[in-house]
Amino acid sequence: MKRAILALTLVLLLGPDATMTQTLRTEYGYALVIYKYDHIISVWGRAYAGGELIPAVKGEIYRSFPTGPKISYGDQRIPEGIYDGRIDSEGNISFRFQTLPDMFETYRISGPSLDRNIIPIKGEFIETIREVGEAMRNKGFTSIPVLIFPGALEPEVADMLEKAEGVREGQTLDDVKSSIIRWKPVEDYLINTGRIPILRFDGAKIHIVEPLPPSITRR
């Protein structure tokens, strides 16, 4: 991905029947959306202040195992949820996941690495992510929303889980399917409204409480 694509703006074609092009501007904030089982990471942005988030460009992530929702510290699973991704001085993005009241794991969006707590990006798209982070920092942002959804479970993964024996809780096919169902309303909300919701968990169901303000507050 060439640096010219993501210097300060992202250009989005609105679809096969669209007759116009929208420019997504850095000063109105971006978000990263990840679908674990589809192995996709995409950049969403806004064309104007207070506008809805719109998908712009996407890349791929490497397959990450063990499959399933994150349930405990050190289980090496990519967590699902909405996180505040911190942007460092070089445009790298990381976020913290709380597994216990006083215990956190830090996940980095990175290229291939031996670090177990990473979301590994394929090819040159990691440079696009860094350019997004760098551009946002230059506009006064120190963080970027990171939304992680299960996505659609691939048939070969479902087949593998169906045949697996002795797998840990959170890696069984039923647990994975339940996780996908739980997150579907949040995914639909983002797609339909272009806004990031505030969530409340009751242990089994995810409730959408209220949307964040359309424009991301700078920190």
Count of Cβ atoms closer than 10 Å to residue 23 Cβ: 13
pLDDT of residue 74: 80
- 22 pLDDT band, cuts 50/70/90, is low
Tell me the pTM.
0.86
pLDDT digits (tens, 9 = 90+) for 25-79: 899 999 999 999 999 999 999 998 888 999 999 999 997 667 888 888 888 888 9
pLDDT at 211 over 50: yes
Q: What is the pLDDT of residue 160?
A: 85
Any residues with CB less than 8 A from the CB of 128 and at least 6 apart, and which? Answer: 1, 5, 6, 43, 57, 59
> What does pLDDT average to over the chain?
84
Q: Mind spelling out the 3-state secondary structure of 89-137?
A: CCCCEEEEEEEECCEEEEEEEECCCCCCCEEEECCCHHHHHHHHHHHHH
The per-residue pLDDT for range 83-115, each reduced to its tens digit, is 999 999 999 999 998 877 788 899 999 998 888
C-alpha of 175 from chain center: 20
- Indicate the domain borders of the chain: 3-211
What value does the mean pLDDT take over residues 133-156? 94
